[in-house]
Amino acid sequence: MNAIPRAEEAKPLLEVNGIEVIYNHVILVLKGVSLNVPEGGIVALLGANGAGKTTTLKAVSNLLHAERGEVTKGLIEFRGERVDRMTPSDLVKRGVIQVMEGRHCFAHLTVEENLLTGAYTRGASRAEIRADLERVYGFFPRLKQRRGSQAGYTSGGEQQMTAIGRALMARPSMILLDEPSMGLAPQIVEEIFEIVKNLNTQEKVSFLLAEQNTMVALRFADFGYILENGRVVMEGTAHALSENEDVKEFYLGISTAGRRSFRDTKNYRRRKRWLS
Amino acid sequence: MNIFQQKWMTNALFVILAAGAVAPLFAADTRLPQWIEVVLGGLMSGVLYSLVALGLVLIFKASGVFNFAQGAMVLFAALSLVRLMEKMPFAVALAVTVVIMIGVAWLIERLVLRPLVNQEGIVLFMATLGIAYFLDGLGQTIWGSDVYTLDVGMPKEPKILLENVFEGGILVGMEDVIAAVIAAVLVGLLALFFQKTPTGRALRAVADDHQAAQSIGIPLNRIWVIVWSVSGIVALVAGIIWGSKLGVQFSLQLVALKALPVVILGGFTSVPGAIVGGLIIGLGEKLSEVYLGPYLGGGIENWFAYVLALVFLLFRPEGLFGEKHIDRV
């Protein structure tokens, strides 16, 4: 295990320690990823396509099994309890829920029915569920307007809200949010991230957030990890990361050195590739 | 444009079907009471098709699998019931059979569906083909392969109705009427279950998106056991009604094949579709046999359903009530 200094002092809510994930018994996707999510934190998981962000989230929520993936090494602990052999259903009951990439609403169910399915594992009373539904509508007033329409016919932003709202109905203490900005207009992305921030401060929901839109993610997160080729190559507070020259160069597309010719950039990138 | 076109197509199909049904009345030699008898007879056998189709629709809705074994389940359930009734009273035998069907559902989930999770639909379909042959063999090994008569106390003698309206009245089999009532009640209960209960909602959610359902903590395994149990019980009801009509025998399974055109007509995902589809096919079969038979040479009953299904596949592949595939562009 590589001895990366941890930024958080207190016992983290979620602790992922050196996990290795193999798909189909042969494809090694994660090569020892370690990360922590503190209670009440928003942690961003950044990186390019295929870096292993989604796999990391699915390893935590245990949705890997359905895709013939397997955690072969390492340890995942939630509130100090090992969770890497639990079913997704057990994890949801313990408060960890994933909002999948691409939203995955139930297209033929109405928006409200979508939300109600989120409460399936709780076995709560009708009144309680009603109250929660209103709470979710409080965060997403738009969904209240669209409550009766089939989710398949709502807009991308509304579907993303439905997916997050549905997860909220399970009363999670932690949401694994995969690529919430995918395919959405910048304005909607902003709206969704505002809601995430609100949920975090008002409902004390912690987030582990996989995102390609580094700029937005770092603005709303407290802490970030950068993944490349199945390894964590850099970590730090959101502020530190957004100030880092390499991050700026690779992920934010800003550089302080002024304009350079394309050939220089290419050479620079090749030289500075992390860990390759 | 597309939607408009399809609506128009559906309406046209309905009009053509309805016209075909009343057309015999305008022929010179048709008597009204006879026509009514044929229609009623058609609707009654349609209800029976609907019952088998219902089992198919349930499983398709919840797991996206076309269950080829539905016919085998009908036979298996009926066989179990009929042999158990030799040793115990009807009510007890019925309860035991229900337990057996739930057991079968549990085993299917454990041994077939679970290892094949997230596989292509066609792989699962092939698996149900295997289940069909297995259940077939198992049923005959355990319960024997003779023809058994199933007597659950349904009245056999037909009744004559409306004697004062028509000369000679209309002959109606009471057995058929009871079967229709049972089917209607069953359908009502299932519709309530699917639309109103959390479990029903979860079933529909699983049907829409396995992975998403899993991600919010809906346990797929339990859902599958529930849905196969329910469709096992529906198969049992169908088996009782068919069995007491035709006797419990291997051919029950073949009659169940008629459920395929029924679901194509009604839509694979629609409970009301299964009912209406069954009725249309039952009706169409009988009417065409009686009124077109003399011209086309008979035997229409055997192919009518399939030809009708073919027409629907051409003009409205999602069926009358099927869910449209929602695509976002």
Look at A66 and B213 and tell me if their CB atoms are within 8 Å.
no
What is the predicted pLDDT for the residue at B150?
Answer: 82
B26 is a domain residue: no
**Rounded distance between C-alpha atoms, residue B201 and residue A129, angstroms:** 14
Look at B205 and A66 and tell me if their CB atoms are within 8 Å.
no
**Considering only residues 307 to 326 of chain B, which have any Cβ-Cβ distance to chain A shorter than 8 Å?**
323, 326
Residue stretches of chain A with pLDDT short of 50: 1-5, 7-8, 267-268, 270-271, 275-276
CATH of residue B127 = 1.10.3470
Q: Number of Cβ pairs closer than 8 Å across A and B?
A: 88
Burial class (CB in 10 A: 0-12, 13-18, 19+), A197: middle
What is the predicted pLDDT for the residue at A8?
Answer: 46
B239 is a domain residue: yes
At B38-67, the pLDDT tens digits run 888 888 888 888 888 888 888 887 777 888
Assess contact for B156 and B240: CB atoms under 8 A: no
Could you say which DSSP state residue A177 is in? E
* Any A CB within 8 A of B2 CB: no
What is the predicted pLDDT for the residue at A108?
Answer: 86
Average confidence (pLDDT) over B172-176: 79
Query: Which structural domain range is residue B274 located in?
Result: 38-157+171-315
Q: Which of A31-40, B170-179, B205-214, B274-283 holds the top average pLDDT?
A: A31-40
Q: Please, which contacts does B173-180 make with residues 24 or more away whose CB atoms are closer than 8 Å?
A: B173/B44, B175/B244, B175/B245, B176/B40, B176/B41, B176/B44, B176/B45, B176/B47, B177/B44, B178/B154, B179/B44, B179/B47, B179/B48, B179/B154, B179/B241, B179/B245, B180/B43, B180/B44, B180/B47
Distance from CA of A173 to the nearest CA of B (A): 13
What is the predicted pLDDT for the residue at A271?
Answer: 47
Look at B212 and A87 and tell me if their CB atoms are within 8 Å.
no
More confident residue, A29 or B246: A29
Distance from CA of B222 to the nearest CA of A (A): 11
* Any A CB within 8 A of B218 CB: yes
What is the predicted pLDDT for the residue at B66?
Answer: 85
What is the predicted pLDDT for the residue at B1?
Answer: 37
Number of domains in chain B: 1
At A17-30, the pLDDT tens digits run 999 999 988 999 99
B27 is a domain residue: no
Which CATH architecture does the domain made up of A14-105+171-241 adopt? 3-Layer(aba) Sandwich (3.40)
Helix H or strand E segment including A227: strand A223-228
What is the predicted pLDDT for the residue at A10?
Answer: 62
Average confidence (pLDDT) over B75-97: 91
ipTM of the complex: 0.83
Q: Which of A96-100, B2-6, B274-278, B317-321 holds the top average pLDDT?
A: A96-100
CA distances from B169 to A111, A158, B115 (A): 53, 61, 58
B245 is a domain residue: yes
* Any B CB within 8 A of A95 CB: no
Assess contact for A21 and A76: CB atoms under 8 A: no
Average pLDDT for chain B:
83
**Rounded distance between C-alpha atoms, residue A50 and residue A27, angstroms:** 12
B142 is a domain residue: yes
What is the predicted pLDDT for the residue at B274?
Answer: 85
What is the predicted pLDDT for the residue at B100?
Answer: 94
* Any A CB within 8 A of B64 CB: no
What is the predicted pLDDT for the residue at A238?
Answer: 93
For the cut 50, the answer to whether the pLDDT of residue B2 exceeds it is no
**Rounded distance between C-alpha atoms, residue A83 and residue A77, angstroms:** 6
B226 is a domain residue: yes
pTM confidence score: 0.80
Assess contact for B68 and B125: CB atoms under 8 A: yes
3-class SS of residue A74: strand
For residue A25, the tally of other CB atoms under 10 A from its CB is 9
Assess contact for A221 and A235: CB atoms under 8 A: no
B1 is a domain residue: no
Domain ranges of chain A: 14-105+171-241, 244-276
B235 is a domain residue: yes
What is the predicted pLDDT for the residue at A96?
Answer: 94
